[in-house]
Structure 1
């Protein structure tokens, strides 16, 4: 799943804090206004199921958060007035875009959701504030220009068919409502789509479940979570930690968890380090034991994961690697016995105390972000339920009481202010109460849309009751309710779309939704297909020759490879951080001819045959095959004669063509293994995305020590640039990016040519045949994704 916030400020691309997981979301969180637009409750106790965002710079574009299709939109030539106090000031915008998104979060796990961008700036104001629109706007969207369909005013609401957008496409600019500049931003699911994902048979999410259990499903992504019951003992060092393995377990503290309590532990890896965060629950209330996640006492825990697994799980290091990363084995054919799966990890179990506990115990429940754990704040809210019912639903009255608390703090004069001005007190209260603000972000609310005019009477009538917002103000504002409805209906549109009116939806705090699902590294096959560059230039002799991959070919190969690729990338920690996935993909693509080859072409004739390249990052030479066989504990009752010394046939196991999912899994797994075992390779994947970073990773893959000898450097550098535009949050200005690189050429085979095409001699003539030269090349890398 590839998703990003609706604004992409440049200061969110990096962070100086090595422990910062998502600097872009940290930056955009600051755009949520502190003075109005509270999610999910309004000043008058109505649902308000969106967030109000105001970027740091008023000219920052509003962007599509994910690939999708347009459900409806409206483009206004000019703003409208809210009519407040008889004013004719054009202080509100009616423009909007509603998108539908469908992607995958796991094997057989398709999620459908909607994003809404309200109060988009009118065309007149765009010309005044941003600049003139092009006279010939592009037919389709891009990250640098408004498309044609958004560049002209519409006659009311438009509901197009088959109109697609890509993530990061510009949808407009934030306008105003009641004179307040902001984007009203929503993310929601239909009731059917919500049930299909959260309640899917075999994959049901344990949202709201106060006694979660380890799911039978292998659906896992994001961070790991452990639920540890009371009475569990923690040790200062595992009893098995003797000899060399003791180095993996520096001394901690022993202790026992109170029998009437429960411990919740979050664990994750970031830039090679392992972090944990703990909460202790007593009498139904959970209290953090550390103010922020703690780094594991063992430095570079993840970077050393291969060595740790090899030392601690001799029966099958591959299974042990999964135990250390996930707390459970996710592959379909585990080798380790239950007794051999013991996995001791460091956990804070009491304020200021850390000890080791074996998380393989069946009494310890293992979850992930895919389960939406309740102790992380996720909770369903619905009007009319008991305060805390068994299905995890909280009563809407709890929210309404929050407004009552704020009302009690107001003076009589403050209560007579205009309806939107009342939001100031509510928003201020929430902003100054961090615990309330964080709790609201986890609320998933079952509610009608405020943009559905068909439900106005039912939804708003209580505002006009004697004790309602407008009812209490009849004497001072007799037309307040009518004026409110008149203005509000000019913004509404939902009943004119394919979603229809009179329905309820499941709403999420939109930034919380995006932050959560950005942890999901599983790619939909269409997202994976986009990772194949449509055009690459390969240097042959002194000329660049173009090669292409059509959308049809990319889509077909992605459908075959998606599941195996996603499982392998998840196992080796390559998908949680898109930068790692970028580097991995940029080498897999040229290595395999765009996933068309799983064997080195002509490998049978190489001097190192029969151990020539196989897999996605092709294993070559006997040493690599031996290490991979030991890691997986591979064996065969009848290996090919050429591989007798291995005891297994790599030609059958990791490079057999057209052998279904099993063969694909091993092709990917062997590549992930190569990354995991290679010293410093994971840390190099984390180092950055510059040209030099790509060269460093190329050296890791190819094993060469000099830049001049890098095999396929031209293709890899182009792939890195292209994939930055697909997988990361960067905005490139234009449809191509220029890169420059040096390439070592053999003067005997490939002479330097001058402008007239004549050879240019270098060095002394007698040494000509032994000389090499460095040539500088310039390439424009195409960013075209060729929309299907």
Structure 2
């Protein structure tokens, strides 16, 4: 339709999204302010269209509960046609209650608002559960512009503190939160930190200027940083990059330079952790005593991934570990110990201000006109302390200002309150001329506007204990909120339970059974997902597809046969990936430093203090005792998880390590087949694994949900010993000659 009338405070100045962008241009339905500096709590989004011109439906952004649903008014009531252009009033509000980490402080609630829907899915009523990707309606009209919605995300004060980790201002904590950790890792490096240019220091060394313990180590001189820096450590698809930021004169953090950690560094984390741990053993041999306490590869792996130990692993008392990484600074490109006292360690879960996040709570008025001194200062283009209307318009098109606004979390009144006094307080400024509004709104027009606001409003109709009061809403920038929390892979018990197929070749289970298992295994699986799969959903699809067949959809951590009739005997499958054979259990012992068995009897009587066991298929027999009791891998959730992760990372193929390397290739049946061979080596449950993967992709990935059932064609697993499928890496395309039916039944209650 043609543009609505231009030049007033409510109807946009020109077509929304004229540039074809999904989020509207500044000043016209963008977050958080308009051209007239009016607060705007969400973003106007335009529905993308397919090749036939059909608009994509509006979908729920996450699992939640409907707390408000209003069908679009079909009576053409005048109040919805302010200034003779139609605005649809169809609306859905969803409360999302979930976890972003471990513990009560990471249990959060927030609300997503979908306004101006042309139609609302009829079955949506208050109290009904909805799930991520469920269709909730069709985009409608916003002041005559079709195919658009207003999308908004809000929360109350208590949940803001849980989501962000604080309730005001820049990040001031000396170290980051531990209950929620995701995304990039950040190091705040103070002025005076030593940088070593010549070579990587020994991991036992915290400062390579210290006197050396033996001839194996020689000290080296260092430069020191002359200002504070922030280092971002980013892991992504096998790579790890360290980027240095410094503060400019405007208080913003800008990139100085980046340093890659070497090709495939993430894929090689297991090998790197073992390399660094071995250096301690080498040092002790050189000194001729147990001079240095040796950290396990597992704890080193955790520090390399997160910059610190998170609790499931810890450096032994009295031990030292220098987390040496090569970074770029103006002083030098060299080695810095990121585990040095005084260096703060954080993650994206801390919403650090150096990553662009800000909390704006300095508007003391109750007006819909933005009175925030912070935002006005950002829009003060010429820096004279006075913000004219022309400057506002100009400022909203400056990239640096738009970047700041795009990550501003702001507290101001919701625009959907129906209360008359509230409307007068919020919108009364329109009746007076100002720099934001050169021409005041006539009284008759204000009456019409007030009726229009009330026709769209609904806030007082919602009764939910987590809903913030109308004048106490914290608003998140919608696009940045979604992009940010896509980095957080922590699954609630309900979300993990949806990953347990209710109908598959492995049998049928009820939702109650699925939820019981999901609740039991959520924490250890989340630890694996966060620490070893780098919160990549494609990797989780593959890991769970293999786990489901190994554990009979999380029914058991123990191989049902308990090794009777198999060469590995008492070293039968245990844990999430059913570790077998003594050599794998021994590798796990070394990886985590599992203590020797402290009692005389093992859980399985086939293992005694003198018994010997074939170490691997076809290998010579060795005595296992006094090593740990392998049954702890089945009975302790952390052992069950860490042993599976060790196997996943340590698996060698084509001269490489790490099954993540294969998982990153996608979810095609050929890749699923390749990973099935890596995990199992034989044909056991191969068809089940092929069936599990697309079911998991349906839940975890972003494709729209498919029909109730459909065929899947997949390649046969080649015979062990000469696997055609695995003859190349990445796996070559193999003709699909086998078929299994995928039943896409509801994975949810």
How far the C-alpha of 1:710 sits from its partner, in A, is 2.4
Say which SS state the counterpart of residue 613 (structure 1) adopts.
Answer: coil
> What is the aligned residue count?
639
Q: Is the 8 A contact 1:116 1:186 kept in 2?
A: yes
Say which SS state the counterpart of residue 106 (structure 1) adopts.
Answer: coil
Tell me, in whole angstroms, the C-alpha distance in 2 between the residues paired with 1:206 and 1:29: 36
Give the alignment of 1:480-629 within 5 angstroms: 480-498=445-463, 499=467, 502-537=470-505, 547-572=507-532, 574=533, 576-605=535-564, 606-629=566-589
How far the C-alpha of 1:366 sits from its partner, in A, is 0.6
Q: Is the 8 A contact 1:80 1:92 kept in 2?
A: no
Choose the corresponding residue for 1:371, options 328, 343, 350.
350
Change (3 A) 1:646 1:59: farther
Say which SS state the counterpart of residue 70 (structure 1) adopts.
Answer: strand
1:165 maps to 2:130: yes
Tell me, in whole angstroms, the C-alpha distance in 1 between the residues paired with 2:437 and 2:248: 44
Tell me, in whole angstroms, the C-alpha distance in 2 between the residues paired with 1:189 and 1:86: 29
Match of 1:750 in 2: none
Tell me, in whole angstroms, the C-alpha distance in 2 between the residues paired with 1:680 and 1:622: 21
Match of 1:42 in 2: 34
Q: Is the 8 A contact 1:207 1:372 kept in 2?
A: no
Deviations 1:267-289 (A, max 9, x none): 12111100222211366724423
Say which SS state the counterpart of residue 162 (structure 1) adopts.
Answer: coil
Gaps of 5+ in 2: 1-18, 205-219, 279-293, 610-622, 652-656, 720-734
Change (3 A) 1:522 1:87: closer
Give the alignment of 1:154-553 within 5 angstroms: 160-181=125-146, 182-195=148-161, 197-198=163-164, 204-205=165-166, 208-215=169-176, 217-236=178-197, 237-240=199-202, 256-259=223-226, 261-281=227-247, 285-290=251-256, 294=258, 296-314=260-278, 315=294, 316-337=296-317, 339-350=319-330, 354-384=333-363, 396-400=372-376, 429-430=395-396, 432-454=397-419, 455-467=422-434, 472-473=439-440, 479-498=444-463, 499=467, 502-537=470-505, 547-553=507-513
Tell me, in whole angstroms, the C-alpha distance in 2 between the residues paired with 1:349 and 1:370: 25
Tell me, in whole angstroms, the C-alpha distance in 1 between the residues paired with 2:196 and 2:373: 46
Change (3 A) 1:466 1:723: same
Tell me, in whole angstroms, the C-alpha distance in 2 between the residues paired with 1:319 and 1:523: 23
Tell me, in whole angstroms, the C-alpha distance in 1 between the residues paired with 2:73 and 2:336: 64
Match of 2:646 in 1: 673
Choose the corresponding residue for 2:62, options 66, 73, 84.
66
Say which SS state the counterpart of residue 482 (structure 1) adopts.
Answer: helix
Tell me, in whole angstroms, the C-alpha distance in 2 between the residues paired with 1:226 and 1:147: 46
Match of 1:119 in 2: 116
Q: Is the 8 A contact 2:66 2:93 kept in 1?
A: yes
Q: Is the 8 A contact 1:254 1:355 kept in 2?
A: no
Q: Which moved more, 1:731-740 or 1:665-674?
A: 731-740
Say which SS state the counterpart of residue 599 (structure 2) adopts.
Answer: coil
Q: Is the 8 A contact 2:563 2:570 kept in 1?
A: yes
Normalising by structure 2, what TM-score?
A: 0.79
Deviations 1:492-547 (A, max 9, x none): 11111114864311110011111111111111000010000010025xxxxxxxx1
Q: Is the 8 A contact 2:409 2:474 kept in 1?
A: yes
Deviations 1:655-681 (A, max 9, x none): 13xxxxxx0111011001111111241
Tell me, in whole angstroms, the C-alpha distance in 1 between the residues paired with 2:552 and 2:273: 32
Tell me, in whole angstroms, the C-alpha distance in 2 between the residues paired with 1:347 and 1:470: 50
Q: Is the 8 A contact 1:463 1:469 kept in 2?
A: no
Say which SS state the counterpart of residue 174 (structure 1) adopts.
Answer: strand
Say which SS state the counterpart of residue 439 (structure 1) adopts.
Answer: helix
Change (3 A) 1:82 1:355: farther
Deviations 1:239-280 (A, max 9, x none): 3289xxxxxxxxxx9974543x21011112111100222211
Say which SS state the counterpart of residue 415 (structure 2) adopts.
Answer: coil
Q: Is the 8 A contact 1:118 1:185 kept in 2?
A: yes
Q: If each structure's helix is expressed as a fraction of its own residues, which one has the higher value?
A: 1
Change (3 A) 1:226 1:385: farther
RMSD: 3.3
Change (3 A) 1:114 1:174: same
Choose the corresponding residue for 1:682, options 638, 660, 667.
660
Match of 1:721 in 2: 694
Match of 1:694 in 2: 672
Tell me, in whole angstroms, the C-alpha distance in 2 between the residues paired with 1:68 and 1:321: 35
Q: Is the 8 A contact 1:100 1:112 kept in 2?
A: yes
Q: Is the 8 A contact 1:224 1:366 kept in 2?
A: yes
How far the C-alpha of 1:402 sits from its partner, in A, is 5.8
Say which SS state the counterpart of residue 473 (structure 2) adopts.
Answer: strand
Deviations 1:38-73 (A, max 9, x none): 211123332111011113326111110001111111
Say which SS state the counterpart of residue 228 (structure 2) adopts.
Answer: strand
Gaps of 5+ in 1: 1-27, 123-145, 151-159, 199-203, 243-252, 387-393, 416-421, 539-546, 657-662, 747-773
Say which SS state the counterpart of residue 596 (structure 1) adopts.
Answer: coil
Change (3 A) 1:114 1:85: closer
How far the C-alpha of 1:361 sits from its partner, in A, is 0.8
Deviations 1:341-380 (A, max 9, x none): 21111222229x5321111112111111121111112111
Q: Is the 8 A contact 1:38 1:427 kept in 2?
A: no
Say which SS state the counterpart of residue 645 (structure 2) adopts.
Answer: helix
Normalising by structure 1, what TM-score?
A: 0.75
